[in-house]
Amino acid sequence: MLRGSRELWLAFVFAIVITGIYGFVLFLTRKVPPAGELFGHSLGILGFILMLMTETLYSLRKRTRSARWGKMSSWLQFHIFTGLVGPYMVLLHTSWKFNGLAGVTTLFTVVIVVSGFIGRYIYTRIPRTLDGLEIEGTLSEAALRQARRLMALWHTVHIPIGMALFISAFVHIGAALYYATFLR
Ligand code: HEM
Ligand code: HEM
């Protein structure tokens, strides 16, 4: 079971620290950090690495139930933490311009985070063990069936959005590196 909201608080604290550093750079340079210069670029790369970890690690752990490395609930907490901090860094990377494919990629990123919150809400309705397995709990049979159906429906939306996001992100990264970094 995912207990409390520690991962949300931790992500919030990290976001405040990152905002502080961003504000400091803004203050020093007196301009919005451009996406293609050192600071903005680093934010994009680090944020994207966190997002890649979000996309892969939890799914890998989920599919190897025999593995002993860490409780599923901790992996899901880590998923949510990186799934919030990564997109936030990427948002600061954009330099608040959302043209073309990079803008579409940002939109996918926002949608997957919002969808994540909805999924988290449904997920926590279903009583589970620390390893994520469903158990008998306080929900009535009908409510449980409904929550399960919602969770399945949610997966069919969340997973394709994630894939679309990474496809457009890779194209953006390829194009940005080619045109804005190597040809400069
Ligand atoms: C999901 C992750 C990412 C998103 C949503 C994203 C989004 C954006 C956006 C919205 C812009 C501004 C486009 C404009 O000027 O209108 C931008 C610029 C840029 N991005 Fe990303 N980005 C991501 C990851 C990355 C990564 C990992 C890299 C590098 C490896 C990167 C490299 C760049 C560069 C170099 C620019 C500047 C392009 C220029 O100066 O014309 N981005 N990005
Ligand atoms: C970069 C952002 C994110 C990406 C790429 C992403 C991707 C994914 C993927 C691929 C899965 C399917 C895992 C599986 O069943 O194999 C998943 C599940 C899930 N994600 Fe995310 N996610 C992101 C952000 C978030 C956020 C911000 C939250 C919560 C606020 C969240 C909550 C969940 C929950 C509750 C599940 C379901 C866990 C389960 O059914 O076992 N995600 N996510």
Residue nearest to atom 6 of ligand 1 (CA): 102
Torsion of CA 17, 43, 116, 103, to 10 degrees: 130
Nearest to 18 by CA among 39, 35, 38, 36: 39
Distance 90 CA to ligand 1 centre (A): 8
Q: How confident is the model at residue 28 (pLDDT cuts 50, 70, 90)?
A: very high
pLDDT at 1 (0 to 100): 53
Q: Who lines ligand 1 at CB under 6 A? A: 35-36, 41, 44-45, 48, 51, 90, 93-95, 97-99, 102-103, 105-106, 109, 169, 172-173, 176-177, 180-181
158 φ/ψ angles, rounded to the nearest 5 degrees? -65, -45
C-alpha dihedral sign at 11, 13, 15, 18: negative
Nearest to 114 by CA among 86, 142, 89, 84: 84
pLDDT at 10 (0 to 100): 97
pLDDT at 84 (0 to 100): 98
**pLDDT tens digits, one per residue of 63-122:** 886 767 888 889 999 999 999 999 999 999 999 999 999 999 999 999 999 999 999 999
Residue nearest to atom 40 of ligand 2 (CA): 123
pLDDT at 67 (0 to 100): 66
How far is 128 from 132, CA to CA, in rounded Å? 5
Distance 172 CA to ligand 1 centre (A): 7
Could you tell me which residues come within 8 angstroms of residue 139 by beta carbon, excluding any fewer than 6 positions away?
125, 126, 127, 147
Query: With pLDDT > 70 as the criterion, what percentage of the chain qualifies?
Result: 96
pLDDT at 57 (0 to 100): 94
Residue nearest to atom 16 of ligand 2 (CA): 59
**pLDDT tens digits, one per residue of 51-65:** 999 999 999 988 886
Find the length of the chain: 184
pLDDT at 184 (0 to 100): 62
